[in-house]
Structure 1
Amino acid sequence: MGFINSYNPFGLMFTLFPIMFIIVFGVIIFSIVKNISVNMHNNKQPVIPVEAKVVTKRYNVSTHHHNSADNNMHHSSSTFYYVTFELNNGERLEFPVPSYEFGMLVEGDSGTLSFQGTRFVSFIRM
């Protein structure tokens, strides 16, 4: 009796698909649980006002490519805004901020930064 090659590409696909599905689903569930946990932690923290100065501003643009039903390529993007503040003691804190706040803040501005945990609340310029 000789060696019989029993390689079946569909068998491999049917094995890998459930594993990949479980991994992707697990990552999505983990992200949701982590975001809820961070949000709950921030909600329990006091709002802390401190004197601070705007040190730097940056943004991150994520571009997404989508194929539509009519086989045309569509592009979309998301922009996330971040501001780094320096406290009087030299400590620096970076927060994601809404776009309207980002546009109003200028590097070098001094004022009162209010934050709650890892969440930016407001910045009132002096």
Structure 2
Amino acid sequence: MGFNAFDNFMFSFGPIFITAISALVFGFFIFMIIKGIGQWSKNNNSPRLTIPAHVVTKRAHTSGGSGDSSASTWYYATFQVESGDRMELAVGAKEYGMLAEGDIGMLTFQGTRYLRFERK
């Protein structure tokens, strides 16, 4: 395989490779959008429940923030209900700050969507 043969191979393979990678990235974004819409719809069709629970633990996940980019933080709380089952729900920053591990109260949620927690 001479130099010209390699150039011809790369000239014909390059556009195919770029198109394939672009299609994979585009497909991933479409998949994530459909998955998000499906979860949103499932939550909307779930009943709103208010049950006794206590806060087992809290955690925060931060990403980004290197160089000139800003950081993003997501907050989660794990609740345990009377049956012993646990569920981790995403909560807002204000709610996260107001919750303390060991809090006992009434948890209101809809599917995987946290709505509120009222301490006793």
TM beyond 0.5:
yes
Structure richer in helix, relative to its length: 2
Structure richer in strand, relative to its length: 1
List per-residue Cα deviations over 1:48-98 (Å, max 9, x = no partner).
111000000001001155xxxxxxx51211100000001111111100111
Residue number among 102, 105, 119 corresponding to 1:108 in the alignment = 102
Using the TM superposition, give the Cα deviation of residue 11 of structure 1 relative to its aligned residue in structure 2, in angstroms: 2.8
TM-score, with length taken from structure 2: 0.91
Pairwise CA RMSD: 1.4
C-alpha distance in 2 between matches for 1:16 and 1:64 = 32
List structure 1 runs of 4+ shifted beyond 3 angstroms.
none
Q: Which runs of 5+ in 2 are unaligned?
A: none
Identity among equivalent positions (%) equals: 39
TM-score, with length taken from structure 1: 0.87
Within the alignment, does 1:83 sit opposite 2:77 as a pair? yes
Using the TM superposition, give the Cα deviation of residue 12 of structure 1 relative to its aligned residue in structure 2, in angstroms: 2.8
Q: Which runs of 5+ in 1 are unaligned?
A: 66-72
- In the comparison of the two structures, how many residue pairs are matched? 117
Q: Secondary structure of 2:69's match?
A: strand
